[in-house]
Structure 1
Amino acid sequence: MEGMLGSPAATGVFTSLLNQIGYAAKLVTSKVRRAGIADVLGATDHVNVQGETVMKLDEEANSTLIKTLKRRGHCAAVASEELDEIEHFSDDPRARYVVMFDPLDGSSNIDVNISIGTIFGVLRRDESAIKVDEKVFLKPGRELAAAGYVIYGSSTMLVLSTGRERGVHGFTYDPTVGEFLLSHEDIKIPEKGSTYSINEGNSGRWTAGVKKWNEHLKAEDKADGRPYGMRYVGTLVADAHRTLLRGGIFAYPSDTKSPEGKLRLLYEANPFAFLFEAAGGSATDGTQRILDIVPTKLHQRTGLVLGSKKDVELFSEFAAGKR
């Protein structure tokens, strides 16, 4: 995997950090595969900062990532969806990066054996900053040094990008040799797809523009490739992974219940927006580019629409009332 990791200006520290994330993914894979027989299914008695009940496997994955990233001194701090505040490791200038992550996306699907995943983003630490604090993480997604996710499905796959110029690559875990092997080189999302992914159970809370867009996709028009097929798992990693490989659109727009949106900007939206743009797609909150949003707090939420360029453009037109 090492040969695909770096950027032209990459150092051994950067590559080592990404390998640490890969190593953590191997450990989490082992826990996921044995979840049903190792007493790590079900919920804990804890509630996280998001107001959500913490699942046992959530806690295991979070602990694994923190311990692994702390080990070699390359990471100065981490921010996790499961933690109220950042976990500070070091102010040493040799700790050049900070990492933010959702340790286990799709917690509600853990106990029913549906694909789940880990999402992460890496930021370079400001060299002029003497002390590492929350402000280091509050940067727009366009400043990410790397982003990726791990999907624990029929196989375990790590999808990673270190920037548009380096592309997006997928590595499938081979348990017989204990390594992630390149299986999907230079992933490019189709310019237009034929499927959409959205929770239509929320339709009563959507704006008029989103409702109109949804009806448009379901209307018959063979010349335009409609109706679109609906595909919705309910795990962001699984729905986004399928959309990245096959094209189409994933949408979790803001609505009357969640006017600021539901998904977390730092841990979910930014990493996926970074990946989709690097693969030739687009990502928006419905009105602006996700990667241009300047966060003001660690657990900031946002609407998220990502996918094929033409499909996202069409959504934006409907959302703005232009269609």
Structure 2
Amino acid sequence: MTDIFDAIQRTAKRIKKAIDVKDIGYSQQANSSGETQLQLDIQCDMIIEEEFSQVPSIHTIASEEKENAMLLNENGKYFIAYDPLDGSSLVDVNLSVGSIFGIYENAFGADKMVASCYVVFGPRVEMVFAHNKAKLHLLQGENFEFVKEIRLKEKGNLNAPGGTQQNWMPYHKEMVDSFFKEGYRLRYSGGMVPDLHQILLKGGGLFSYPATSDKPDGKLRKLFEVFPFAFIYKTAGGEAIDGKEDLMKLDHAHIHDTSPCFFGSKYEIARVKEVYATNA
């Protein structure tokens, strides 16, 4: 898997340069969800495809920006699903964005996941790679350097609630408010990668993107976003559920399937399970 790790590092350096200089205007294309793509989304997607196409061990790739998966090497064994630039609409206001990679063996599916990675493009470029452990790396010049292993505490103090509030279920709003009453601090940028990264590095808390009245199956995609972060959080000693079930036990019917998702420390996820067992 070293060749994949190296390829992700190369993509990160190229994407960083694209963010710094690329025109981020809207293109005439739409992605698989019908959202108009930024030119930067397309550029980052191309960068990752180019780098992965040079790795013989990669069998198939699937991008959040493409409708269908793409075969690269028939003799490869790894299947990689990626979101080229999560939160790309935040670039024009200079907020952090990121790339997400789910690495699966022999086929796509939570039960096939063997590693996961994301890169944060902010004031610094940081990468978290999870295999047997969740490890933080920092871009220093032209090279990523290992910083530390990441472990979540049993309880955190950050609350990152996603989704439009007017579409939340009443019991979900009550739960979110209950954390604030305990002294939790609001941290929500609109970017999944920076918000989940902050919770990881600060030791714990809760990121939630529930089922809502307008998106009853959730908004975030299983293969590209949900499973990769579930793998990372569980590797770091946290938990990841859809409200009731372990996210890593879910199946999928299509590469763009979505799911409600909750990521956090054990304390917060236990609260989510209690609330959702009673109400959902």
TM-score, scaled relative to structure 1: 0.83
Asked whether the equivalents of residues 57 and 73 of structure 2 are also in contact (C-alpha less than 8 Å), the reply is no
What is the CA-CA distance between 1:242 and the residue it aligns to? 0.4
What is the CA-CA distance between 1:311 and the residue it aligns to? 0.7
> Which residue in 2 is equivalent to 1:50?
33
What is the CA-CA distance between 1:28 and the residue it aligns to? 0.8
> Which residue in 2 is equivalent to 1:212?
174
> Which residue in 2 is equivalent to 1:27?
14
Amino acid of the structure 2 residue aligned with 1:216: S
Cα distance in 2 between the residues matched to 1:214 and 1:19: 39
Choose the corresponding residue for 2:195, options 228, 233, 239.
239
Matched, 1:67 2:50: yes
Cα distance in 2 between the residues matched to 1:237 and 1:75: 24
How far does the alpha carbon of each residue in 1:84-129 deviate from its partner, in whole angstroms, 9 at most, with x for none?
A: 10111121x2x1211110000002212111100000011112xxxx
Choose the corresponding residue for 2:264, options 302, 307, 316.
307
- Structure 1: runs of 5+ lacking an equivalent: 1-13, 126-135, 220-225
> What SS does the aligned partner of 1:302 have?
coil
Cα distance in 2 between the residues matched to 1:279 and 1:90: 32
Q: Which has the larger radius of gyration?
A: 1
Choose the corresponding residue for 1:83, options 43, 63, 66.
66
Identify the range of structure 1 (72-81 vs 253-262) with the bigger mean alpha-carbon deviation: 72-81
What is the CA-CA distance between 1:191 and the residue it aligns to? 1.0
Identity %: 29
Amino acid of the structure 1 residue aligned with 2:232: L
How far does the alpha carbon of each residue in 1:37-71 deviate from its partner, in whole angstroms, 9 at most, with x for none?
A: xxx21211111111111111111110000010001
Choose the corresponding residue for 2:185, options 226, 229, 232.
229
What is the CA-CA distance between 1:204 and the residue it aligns to? 2.3
Asked whether the equivalents of residues 142 and 274 of structure 1 are also in contact (C-alpha less than 8 Å), the reply is no
> What SS does the aligned partner of 2:214 have?
coil
Matched, 1:254 2:211: yes
Matched, 1:174 2:174: no
How far does the alpha carbon of each residue in 1:166-208 deviate from its partner, in whole angstroms, 9 at most, with x for none?
A: 2100110012xx110011x2100111011200147x2222223
> What SS does the aligned partner of 1:197 have?
strand
> Which residue in 1 is equivalent to 2:150?
187
> What SS does the aligned partner of 1:173 have?
strand
Amino acid of the structure 2 residue aligned with 1:16: D
Matches within 5 A, 1:118-157: 118-125=99-106, 136-137=107-108, 139=109, 141-157=110-126
TM-score, scaled relative to structure 2: 0.96
How far does the alpha carbon of each residue in 1:287-322 deviate from its partner, in whole angstroms, 9 at most, with x for none?
A: 211100011111001111101111111122112227
Asked whether the equivalents of residues 209 and 321 of structure 1 are also in contact (C-alpha less than 8 Å), the reply is no
> What SS does the aligned partner of 1:263 have?
coil
Cα distance in 2 between the residues matched to 1:48 and 1:143: 26
Cα distance in 2 between the residues matched to 1:76 and 1:294: 21
The count of corresponding residues between Structure 1 and Structure 2 is 279
> Which residue in 2 is equivalent to 1:114?
95
Cα distance in 1 between the residues matched to 2:55 and 2:125: 25
- Structure 2: runs of 5+ lacking an equivalent: none
> Which residue in 2 is equivalent to 1:41?
24
